[in-house]
Chains A and B, each alone.
Chain A
Amino acid sequence: MKVIQVKCPHCNNPIKMKQKDLLFYCDSCKTIHVRDGGINVIDYEIGDFGRNAPQGDRIYVPFWRLYCSFTIKNMKVEGGGLFKLSNWVKGGAGTGGDIFIFVPASDFDPATFKRLAIMLTTLPPRYNSRTDFNNVPRLPTTMSREEAAQMAHFVVITMEAEKPGTLQDLDYTLNVNDARAVYLPFLTSPQGLVLGI
């Protein structure tokens, strides 16, 4: 066992963080890297807060945003006749496509995890990007990219299962084309985390 000081692979400055985080953020050159078997610099985005977002309640929440190709080969649903009919009138429900799946990367309780994942995947947020956190605290990342790729399956099946009718079978393929860490602006409120865009 050997203890080493974490230094940025880009500018070689030491990383100083107050929390235990899987993603190492360099305050000097704004690089994020991971150490999962090697030192890898990763792509990331930081979303900017809306103008009216109150200062004191701001927090950044890390997500893995997975750009995926999702294809449904076969699906069997019992019931949900009206929904099927309306899809048929609209020209078909579609059999998949390319989607962004947002997987919460911090340690959330199951209910919050599902709420955030489904909310952001169903309606991907539009935000202005910024290059730093502007001294806003951020939650630590506890989920690796590989684990997020597994949870992406859960997110797409949930989206299909929560449509009207009772899902009986789903044969699909889900390929993760790209994974990016995305820090989204949130506000802490008594009702839980609220998107602060």
Chain B
Amino acid sequence: MPDLSIGLNCPACGGAVSVQEGEGVLNCQYCDSTLFIEGDKGVQTIAFKMKVTKESAIAAAQGWWKKGFKARDLKRTGKIIEVYPIYIPFWSTTARVAGWVCGYEERRHSDSKGNTRVERIPKEVMVLSDYRYSEIACDPGDLGIRTLRNFSGERSFADFEMIPTFETTTSKDVAAKDARSKAEEWGREQANVPHVTFERLYVVPHNMSIIYYPIWVVRYSYRERMYMNTVDGVTGTVLSGRAPGDPLFQSLAITFGSAAGGIVSGAGLLLAAFSEADQNGAYFAVGGFVIGGLLLFGTYRFFRRGSEIVEGEFSDKEGSAKTGLGDIKQISQTLSQIGGRYP
């Protein structure tokens, strides 16, 4: 438990009691009296101990440079400019989400004659789980961090005086409202009912706390441009970062992506032209055209945004090649749906 406490005396025996912020009830360790906190109880505050050294943070950032579609000479050319630790506050709570989501799922079946039948499968799904909420409690600026991923580690305020700390700028009430709404949304996603006819979800939140989490910020330069990484001060993993992309990967993507898109579209049209009075011909044409178009679109996005690789929870992910990869994932999902409809 955290050591950030307020020293008070037990009104019954005068013994020293320490009250953790956010606590409403405590017991005196000397006389066993039950004590109640009146007024604003504040918020329970927790701080994690910085476990990762500066050298380890640099090594983690440099390891990240080598992964993905980043500039191939980044490891060689990138220069560390500055590395410093900070504490970032996060709102954190758990909430029990309980309820039911009912509805149905539609499945399409096509026979050999091309007739399509829609089967409606009723679904009722119980939601009863604990949702863990975390959200940054300050303006994260360009750090690319919004939520807390790790909740375990040694808790201590020992480094608190030494490491700069971001001020909390959002209120507890706003965070509590946000937690409730995200818990409901999460419950709905857990249920995974495509067409909802009935839904009742209840959220019972527990105490809200503030977690101060240690982060290493690693700033570096590459060909006279500045980039950055953030490294988890407890686990040593890279949380976010910006890095230069590689023109070669962009060129390859646009060349082969355009070619593949064109071939798939053309093949679809050809198959449609040569299929004799068969209704599947129309499916080939439309399917091929759509798939080809999606491939071209994904390729274009990757090309356009591949000049800078962005990973993390940035509010604006422009310039991200990862977004381009996300598009490709989306395309593959769309393709599988199309495949399901046009077997």
Contacts and interface: CB of A to CB of B under 8 A. Distances in A.
Q: A-side binding surface: helix, strand, loop or mixed?
A: mixed
Contact of B36 (A6, A111, A143, A153): A6
Given A1-B6, A3-B19, A4-B36, A153 B202 contact: yes
Interface in B180-222: 197-198, 200, 202, 204
A162 to B, nearest CB: 8
Q: B-side binding surface: helix, strand, loop or mixed?
A: strand
Given A150-B202, A158-B100, A169-B197, A20 B38 contact: no
B132 to A, nearest CB: 13
A168 B25 contact: no
Contact of A168 (B27, B34, B96, B102): B102
B104 interface: yes
Interface string A109-153: 011011000000000000000000000000000010001001101
A100 interface: no
B40 A167 contact: no
Given A21-B25, A166-B122, A3 B8 contact: yes
A151 B27 CA distance: 29
Given A5-B35, A166-B102, A20 B27 contact: yes
Contacts of B33: 5-6, 14-16
Interface residues on A, range: 35 or more
A3 B102 contact: no
A10 to B, nearest CB: 15
Contact of A113 (B25, B42, B102, B128): B128
Which of A17, A24, A78, A169 has the most CB atoms of chain B within a 10 A radius of its CB? A78
A22 B24 CA distance: 9
A5 B10 contact: yes
A58 B6 CA distance: 37
A14 B34 contact: yes
A6 B32 CA distance: 11
A157 interface: yes
B298 to A, nearest CB: 39
Contacts of B129: 110
A166 B38 CA distance: 49
A114 B126 CA distance: 11
Contacts of B122: 78-79, 166, 168
B103 A161 contact: no
Interface string B19-35: 10001011100011111
Contacts of A114: 128
Contacts of A20: 23, 25-27
A73 interface: no
Given A4-B36, A110-B129, A167 B204 contact: no
A4 B12 CA distance: 9
Interface in B34-55: 34-42
B83 interface: no
B124 interface: yes
B17 interface: yes
Contacts of A5: 10-12, 33-36
Contacts of A154: 98-100, 128, 200, 202
Contact of B99 (A1, A76, A157): A157
A41 B214 CA distance: 45
Nearest to B17: A3
B139 to A, nearest CB: 28
8 contacts: A1-B6, A1-B40, A16-B34, A76-B197, A157-B200, A166-B123, A167-B100, A169-B197
Given A14-B33, A168-B103, A168-B198, 11 more contacts: A3-B19, A3-B26, A5-B12, A16-B33, A17-B27, A110-B96, A110-B128, A150-B204, A153-B99, A158-B126, A168-B197
Interface of A: 1-6, 14-22, 24, 35, 76, 78-79, 110-111, 113-114, 143, 147, 150-151, 153-154, 157-158, 161, 166-170
The 10 closest A-B pairs by CB, nearest first: A166-B122, A78-B122, A154-B98, A6-B34, A15-B34, A110-B128, A16-B32, A2-B38, A150-B202, A167-B124
